Structure 1
Amino acid sequence: MKKNQLFSVLMASALLVSVGEASVYAAAGPGSGKTPTVKTSAKAAVKVKEGVKAWTVNGAQTTFKTVDAGGYKLYSISQLAASLGASIANESGSLVLKDRAGLHTIKLKAGSKSYSLDGEKRNFTTAPTVSGGKLYVELSAIVYGLGGELFGSPLQILGAARPQGEFDTLHWAADGTVLANLEGETAQVYKFAANPGSYGLFSSDERASDFSVSADRRYGAFTDETGLLYVIDLTSGAVKPLGTDTATKTDLTWSADGTSIYYIQGDKQEKISQISVDTGTVKELLADKVENKSELRISADGKRAVYIVNITGSAKNDADSTEDSLTIDYSKAGEQLYQLDLATKDAKPAALTTSDDNKLYPEILADGTVVYLSADPEGKTANALKTVKPDGTAANIALDIEVTWAQAAGGGIIASGTAADGTSRIYSVPVSGSAQELFRTKADISEVSVSADGGKLAVITGGKLVEIENGKAVQLTR
């Protein structure tokens, strides 16, 4: 044998741990009480520096055994598998790891940089190393290979990587989870817990891509293309029809006690009706033939409805109704707020506003005050929050942002918008007292949802879903 051939053989023997020299005896899965061990000859052992490293794994503190090999920190494979919920087994001389859901498989050998992930060939930066009868591997390759993620600052390990994509249509459920739609060709509603990586597919029902949520956050209501109303359980995802009425329904709004759902009815949004959640019985509340109603709100005591009417121009012509004489009067056109006394039989709607500003997001506060977002139709002045007292007294709410969204919460209002420095901010605005800043970011805020108690926010900012509590923001998607 030539000298260079002999040298190659000796080097291979020193650096690699062959299947014949090292056997890994591993449990079939985590929690079995067995720890994978490696038997290796003295000739194959590699001198390494042993140590420990603490990580937060799925919210729990875990200390891993480590070795420094070739300037790279490797981690105990048995500890990694157990913390990630993965199984370990020996198959034909290779060590095989599978994630809990059975979606990913890693096959590797001690001493070899080459490994496979879901059947595709990959390479470690540093080969898996044996020390003290234990096998040590690269952290990132194993975590990501098994569907996990290294996340946050400081870094922590997630057993399941956060979902990636654009999300919208946020809702809170009674169990403290957030429901959000993943944008795409098919309907996918995901449910997110507060811990990153804790999520799952909630619904793929196209009809339930958006819904109105009950005050207790237990149920959602939506209609299908025929106008039939459905209720979805926000815990189980179960869907059931409510009644048999197929009239067009928009602006679904739950009563505070969850016994009724109010809505605007008709192809021209000309009526207001309510349906019993228990019986499916429909009751017509208003049919004044005024079209283009929207943004229906019901007071907590159920005695008052507030809504917006989009008033269009009125046509005028002469007695002969000639085409040349036809004119459109836009002097009274615009959006106006109306209120309806639901406690008085045959009550007539009363106008709350006469101003020419556009009106969005009306809310009824506990004292009867109506708050809404006012927008200049010509864009000459910044958007602002305005209030209208039951007696018609109007006022502005002073905030250092141009308001883009508002919602009732905790007896007051949560509002978001853009400040003069370009930052996006969210404020809590009480019925009385000063506004309190809840969150600030340099990214755009496109959507906000408030938990039932008003203590948490779900926000779409920079295209990502973020949960905010006590000023602390946790990003739930990538």
Structure 2
Amino acid sequence: MKRNQWLSVLMASALLVTVSQASVYAAAGANSGKSAAVKSSARAAKVKEGKAAWTVDSVQHTIKTIDAGGYKLYSVGQLAAALGAGLKAEAGGLSLTDRASVHTINFKAGSKSYSVDGVKRSFTTAPTVYGGKLYVELSAIVYGLGGELFGSPLQILSTARPQGEFDTLHWAADGSLLANREGDKAEIYKFASNPGSYRLFSSDSRAADFSVSGDLRFGAFTDETGQLLVIDLASGAVKPLGTDTSVKTDLTWSADGKTIYFIQGDKQEKLSKISVDTGAVTELLADKVENKSELQISADGKKAVYIVNITGTAKNDADSTEDSLTVDYSKAGEQLYQLDLSAKDAKPAALTSSGDNKLYPEILADGTVVYLSADPDGKAPNTLKTLKPDGTFADIPLDIEVVWAQEGAGGLIASGTAADGTSRIYAITAAGASKELFRTTQDISEVAVSGDGAKLGVISGGKLLEIENGKAVQLTK
């Protein structure tokens, strides 16, 4: 053995002996004149050994403990192993470093003083040597290494959940959730189902929101020039699609992922599509009707449904003076239109003519169009309406005032507020039957449905939740 290795062993041994003696004398208190055997016996009576079962990053661990003066301490070696942390002796003490080498704790046996990343802190109970092992406070170590005690019952996360306000939810093909953290810079995070398992996915401000392909592998968005771009939802790689830089809104993927449809033009007056393979743009409709929005494409690619915001019509009398100018608002409002994409030179057909506001149109598998109807004067509650292929309208009865709806799980997913103030989410079948999926006393600002319809991503109170079988797991704090 080399000389420096002998010195390390001697120093560690001296440290253990010194701390053990200090613990014995502390247990003995003022009766320091008693024999060593009596002191050891008193110390043994004061310390109670045990074991504690903890779930660490979804894996079960059993960690040795001692009860020192009414405070439970944990084996630092076993705790470090469970957290994946590095433990090593340093001059005058020990250091713990987290798995990512971001945080370091420096401490000494028998001393309440310690530091986290160079910042001084204090233990409630000093690290204690007992039976040849060192025991430490659980929470101080977990939080010091960047972890978190989470949930009910409590479990340990080696990496704490990210903190902040989140929005703009999307599911990816690997079952992860993508969400933006609000702030001065773009931060798109990717979350696995296990709390504490996440990573920064992208800092590209252009990709703050995107339209996701049916297979959840890609997202499409435009930059400030109108250039269409596609982001890979696995790698985060971004590439341009085509060279057209006209204004594009309401990007919508075809079911097979080969085409992206969009509303085109400065005044949203056209419907067009672009080939994902070639980048070639094809104009589908140029009827000069402005203010189109919320484009939806049927699964078979044969129908397009969209909303037109019809504004007032200016009228003049025979003199055509400024004073004689009037605006007729009698036909103003939002109306649903449908375009047959399978017929050449087809003309759009109006689906509605009522004065209510219309939001979130969806085309179900049987061709039924579902949309949210809102009273423009705010006097009547929002309702979900269906328009069957035969032209018949019906309301979907729910015990909430609906604020959002989206196709999913073979039917529809809707959220809203009940009379008691709770926020609720329902699954609605094509036949109109509803089932409650989740409720909370907090507001629900966003909902995203997983590809298989089994899970929901929810923004509630600015926090990200994942919901499965009615149970919610909070992925942010």
| Partner Cα distance (1:227, 1:65) in 2 | 61
| Partner Cα distance (2:185, 2:391) in 1 | 46
Question: How much has 1:41 moved relative to structure 2?
Answer: 7.4
Matched with 2:417 is 418
Residues 21 and 112 of structure 1: CA distance in aligned 2, closer, same or farther (over 3 Å) = farther
Normalised to the residue count of structure 1, the TM-score between the two structures is: 0.92
| Partner Cα distance (1:360, 1:126) in 2 | 59
Matched with 1:408 is 407
1:239-388 matches, cutoff 5 A: 239-388=238-387
Matched with 2:212 is 213
Which range moves more in the overlay, 256-265 or 323-332? 323-332
Matched with 1:184 is 183
- Runs (4+) off by over 6 Å: 19-22
Question: How much has 1:320 moved relative to structure 2?
Answer: 2.8
Residues 411 and 109 of structure 1: CA distance in aligned 2, closer, same or farther (over 3 Å) = same
Contact 1:467 1:474 in 2 (8 A): yes
Q: How many residue pairs end up in the alignment? A: 449
Residues 74 and 22 of structure 1: CA distance in aligned 2, closer, same or farther (over 3 Å) = farther
1:68-147 matches, cutoff 5 A: 68-147=67-146
Question: How much has 1:73 moved relative to structure 2?
Answer: 0.2
Which residue type is aligned with residue 281 of structure 1?
A: A
Matched with 2:12 is 23
Q: Which runs of 5 or more residues in structure 2 are unaligned?
A: 1-7, 25-42
| Partner Cα distance (1:43, 1:72) in 2 | 20
Which residue type is aligned with residue 275 of structure 1?
A: I
Residues 320 and 152 of structure 1: CA distance in aligned 2, closer, same or farther (over 3 Å) = same
SS across alignment from 2:257: coil
| Partner Cα distance (1:106, 1:24) in 2 | 21
1:155-170 matches, cutoff 5 A: 155-170=154-169
Q: Which deviations, in whole Å up to 9, do the C-alpha atoms of 1:293-318 show, x marking residues without a partner? A: 00000000000000000000001112
| Partner Cα distance (2:66, 2:9) in 1 | 23
Contact 1:304 1:340 in 2 (8 A): yes
| Partner Cα distance (1:39, 1:171) in 2 | 57
Matched with 1:16 is none
Residues 142 and 314 of structure 1: CA distance in aligned 2, closer, same or farther (over 3 Å) = same
Question: How much has 1:38 moved relative to structure 2?
Answer: 5.0
Normalised to the residue count of structure 2, the TM-score between the two structures is: 0.92
Q: Which runs of 5 or more residues in structure 1 are unaligned?
A: 1-18, 26-36
Give yes or no for the alignment of 1:449 onto 2:448: yes
Question: How much has 1:83 moved relative to structure 2?
Answer: 1.0
Residues 371 and 69 of structure 1: CA distance in aligned 2, closer, same or farther (over 3 Å) = same
Matched with 2:40 is none
Question: How much has 1:85 moved relative to structure 2?
Answer: 1.2
Question: How much has 1:319 moved relative to structure 2?
Answer: 2.6
Q: Which deviations, in whole Å up to 9, do the C-alpha atoms of 1:73-116 show, x marking residues without a partner? A: 00010111111111111111210111111111100000000111
The percent of aligned pairs where both chains have the same amino acid is 76
Q: Which deviations, in whole Å up to 9, do the C-alpha atoms of 1:122-158 show, x marking residues without a partner? A: 1000000001111000000000000000000110000
Which residue type is aligned with residue 173 of structure 1?
A: A
Contact 1:22 1:39 in 2 (8 A): no
Contact 2:209 2:221 in 1 (8 A): yes
Which residue type is aligned with residue 269 of structure 2?
A: E
Contact 1:410 1:453 in 2 (8 A): yes
SS across alignment from 1:43: helix
SS across alignment from 2:140: helix
Question: How much has 1:392 moved relative to structure 2?
Answer: 1.9
C-alpha RMSD of matched pairs (Å):
1.6
Residues 402 and 89 of structure 1: CA distance in aligned 2, closer, same or farther (over 3 Å) = same
Which range moves more in the overlay, 320-329 or 133-142? 320-329
| Partner Cα distance (2:81, 2:218) in 1 | 37
Residues 433 and 268 of structure 1: CA distance in aligned 2, closer, same or farther (over 3 Å) = closer
Q: Which deviations, in whole Å up to 9, do the C-alpha atoms of 1:146-188 show, x marking residues without a partner? A: 0000000110000000000000000000000000000001000
| Partner Cα distance (2:20, 2:100) in 1 | 38
Residues 242 and 236 of structure 1: CA distance in aligned 2, closer, same or farther (over 3 Å) = same
| Partner Cα distance (2:13, 2:105) in 1 | 15
Matched with 1:43 is 21
SS across alignment from 2:230: strand
| Partner Cα distance (1:424, 1:38) in 2 | 57
Which range moves more in the overlay, 90-99 or 309-318? 90-99
More helix as a share of residues: 2
| Partner Cα distance (1:135, 1:42) in 2 | 10
Residues 382 and 394 of structure 1: CA distance in aligned 2, closer, same or farther (over 3 Å) = same
Residues 111 and 352 of structure 1: CA distance in aligned 2, closer, same or farther (over 3 Å) = same
Question: How much has 1:434 moved relative to structure 2?
Answer: 1.8
| Partner Cα distance (1:248, 1:454) in 2 | 33
